[in-house]
Chain A
Amino acid sequence: MNMRRVVISGTGAVTPYGNGIPAYWKGILSGHGAATPITSFDVTSLPTHFAAQVPFSDRELEEFIENKKATKTMSRAARFAAIAANEAVRQGNLDTHALDPWRFGTCVGTGGLGFFDVEYSDKLLEIFLRSVRVEDGKATFDAGQVRRNTLDMVHPLTPLKALQNILTAHIAIQFNARGVCQTVTTACTSAAQAVGEAYRIVRTGAADVVITGGSDSMVNPNGVVAFSAIGVISKNNDEYRTASRPFDNRRDGFMIGEGAAMFVIETLEHCLARGAVPLAEIIGYGSTCDAYRLTDPPPDGRGCIEAMRLALRDAEIDATEVDYINAHGTGTRMNDKTETMAIHTVFGNNAVPPVSSTKSMIGHLVAAAGAVELAACVLALQHQIMPPTINYREPDPDCDLDYVPNEARKAHLETVLTNSFGFGGQNATIVIRKPPL
């Protein structure tokens, strides 16, 4: 099959550093983390009190969205996605009206719990409270009443916010993209797989242009409870500003982040024909499943290793050609150790390029992680600077790579690789390089 070359021609982001790619790049070069105390709901009864939060309320986010009515059915994540997609289209100078709408698609990664926002969670509490009957000083709980109250009290459009694909549909409607429309929900691998699948869609000719990326918001009561229950987030409330410590021996879990990054990707030919400038070329994608345990990586790191190898093979390059790796690097004990081992295996002990985790600054954006990290890679290529792993002080003997500690570093970057791994055992690796001149 005649494979087409695929380029990224536009990027957009909503991150804990604010709205837009410039704010994001400035933030991840600053060496200052984006952690803030959670104030949108009461966290005093929970073990974790902080996150890397987008500094806008849902209402404030509406100001950035042209179609105000559409926001009624947009979860917080859908709002991030719409704003970032708009930035990507503008940055890529893409005249969406000039495209063949049937050759123009969408493919976005997102999560499943984002609609449990503070308002909905509070409403559920009220419903439960109203479903308690007190008779003769004895309280009983009426489950049937809960269902009746839910029907009466929950806004009828709430279920639409809960459907993951609605986020993608909003983008398709916004830009009249009538071609392929896919939503990928594979936990922390969602965005990387979405971009990878979009790359394949364009590469194999199923569409010419695709808006892709990822968006998520787990900074809500259910999100914090869920991650606390699984025991994967940092509880270091006293030192929350520096609690996200990937690869450091003092790490105690990841910091929850939220936001989105979106891209316009298209064939190189299409990009050049419309007079646009490619920002980077996507040259390889690998995707595997550990088929082991739901949340533990296999001790030999086989799934991560094979994802990287597949991506390098797809890119038709040797491992030695990779100049920088943006790691999954969550800050959990197990991930960082296994990922380090997997990188050693793929690159050989003496040929590992510098590796950094931008999660040290923006936290783990869960279903959006692979997208914001790919955006960091595109920016790294553009500016020839590797963003750092901040809060790195105490080396872990099991994590012995060059993690670009604490300060951004200038480097000659031609080819970079980014990893994403997720609960369920999904692994995805994307390789990009400087755009063809």
Chain B
Amino acid sequence: MPIPDVEILNKLGAIMHVALRIPEAEVIPDARIFDDLGAESIDILDIRFRIEEAFGFKIDEGEIMRSIDPDKGFEELKDQFTIGATAAFIRQKLDQLEQGHA
């Protein structure tokens, strides 16, 4: 049974709350992780570690950004690095795992 999208968002809300000490209500799909939610670069390590623990898969360095656009660099993608984009990445990873097990 695949994890519903709403559950992914809920889990991401809890992760951001702990990692960035912000209210879960601020963790909406359009929120940009750097500019809107106030992350700094070391927070991304923290968030990545927590996503790995919460969803049970490993994430390579830069993998989330590459999932947004593999041809663009970090600075260009900073504004597109949102909660929604991260949730879509998690969805994609979970689906790949699901297919792998099928």
Contact = CB atoms under 8 A, between A and B. Distances in A.
Interface secondary structure of B, over-half rule: helix
Contacts of B42: 73, 157, 160
Nearest to B20: A69
A100 B50 CA distance: 40
Contact of B49 (A73, A156, A160): A156
B45 interface: yes
Contacts of A69: 20-21, 38, 43
Interface in A70-88: 71-73
B16 to A, nearest CB: 11
Nearest to B40: A69
A156 B46 contact: yes
A97 interface: no
A236 to B, nearest CB: 41
A4 B19 CA distance: 45
A155 B47 CA distance: 10
**Interface SS of A by simple majority:** helix
A156 B83 CA distance: 21
A155 B19 contact: no
Contacts of A152: 58
A86 to B, nearest CB: 17
Contacts of A71: 21
Nearest to A62: B21
Q: Which of the four size classes fits the interface of chain A?
A: 10 to 19
B19 A72 contact: yes
Contacts of A156: 45-46, 48-49
Contacts of A160: 42
A160 B49 CA distance: 15
Interface in B14-70: 19-21, 38, 42-43, 45-46, 48-49, 58
Contacts of B38: 69
A156 B19 CA distance: 12
Nearest to A72: B46
A68 interface: yes
Nearest to B18: A72
Leading 5 A-B pairs by shortest Cβ distance: A68-B21, A156-B45, A69-B21, A156-B49, A157-B46
Given A69-B21, A72-B19, 18 more contacts: A68-B21, A69-B20, A69-B38, A69-B43, A71-B21, A72-B46, A73-B42, A152-B58, A155-B46, A155-B49, A156-B45, A156-B46, A156-B48, A156-B49, A157-B42, A157-B45, A157-B46, A160-B42
20 contacts: A68-B21, A69-B20, A69-B21, A69-B38, A69-B43, A71-B21, A72-B19, A72-B46, A73-B42, A152-B58, A155-B46, A155-B49, A156-B45, A156-B46, A156-B48, A156-B49, A157-B42, A157-B45, A157-B46, A160-B42
